[in-house]
Amino acid sequence: MKPFICPPKNPIKAFTLVELIIVVIIVGILASLGLTQYSLLVENSRTAESKAVLSTLRSEAISYNYEYGAYPASINDLGTSAPSACVTTNYFQYDFANDGAPRVRARRCTSGGKTPNNSCAYWNILRLDGSYYSQNCGGQNFEGSWKAFK
Where residue 26 sits, what CATH number does that domain have? 3.30.700
Query: How many distinct structural domains can be found in the chain?
Result: 1
Contacts of 133 (CB under 8 A, 6+ apart): 124, 125, 141, 143, 144, 145, 146, 147
Q: Under a CB-based contact definition with an 8 Å cutoff, are residues 104 and 84 in contact?
A: no
Backbone phi, psi, residue 58, to 5°: -60, -45
Which pLDDT belongs to residue 142?
46
Range 7-22 average pLDDT: 82
pLDDT at 149 over 60: no
Q: Is this prediction's pTM over 0.85?
A: no
Q: What integer pLDDT is reported at residue 25 of this predicted model?
A: 96
Asked whether residue 10 is assigned to any structural domain, the reply reads no
Q: Write the pLDDT tens digit of every residue in 27-54.
A: 999 998 888 888 778 888 888 888 888 8
Whether 14 is covered by a domain: the verdict is: no
> Does the residue 81 lie in any domain?
yes
**Cis, peptide link before residue 83, omega less than 30° from 0:** no
Closest alpha carbon to 131 in 104, 109, 107, 108: 104
Structure letter (DSSP) for residue 141: B
Range in 62-66, 104-108, 134-138 with the lowest mean pLDDT: 134-138
Q: Which residues contact 136 (CB under 8 A, 6 or more apart)?
A: 122, 142
Please indicate, yes or no, if residue 3 is contained in any of the structural domains: no
Residue 1 within any structural domain of the chain? no
**Do 30 and 36 contact (CB within 8 A), yes or no?**
no
Q: Identify which has the larger pLDDT, 7 or 130.
A: 130
The range of the structural domain enclosing residue 126 comes to 19-148
Among residues 33, 43, 48, the alpha carbon closest in space to that of 120 is found at 43
Residue pair 147/131 in contact (Cβ under 8 Å)? The answer is: yes
Residue 5 maps to a domain: no
Q: Establish if 7 belongs to a structural domain.
A: no
pLDDT, the chain, mean? 79
**Residue 140 scores a pLDDT above 80:** no
Per-residue confidence (pLDDT) for residue 98, from 0 to 100: 80
Residue 11 in any domain: the answer is no
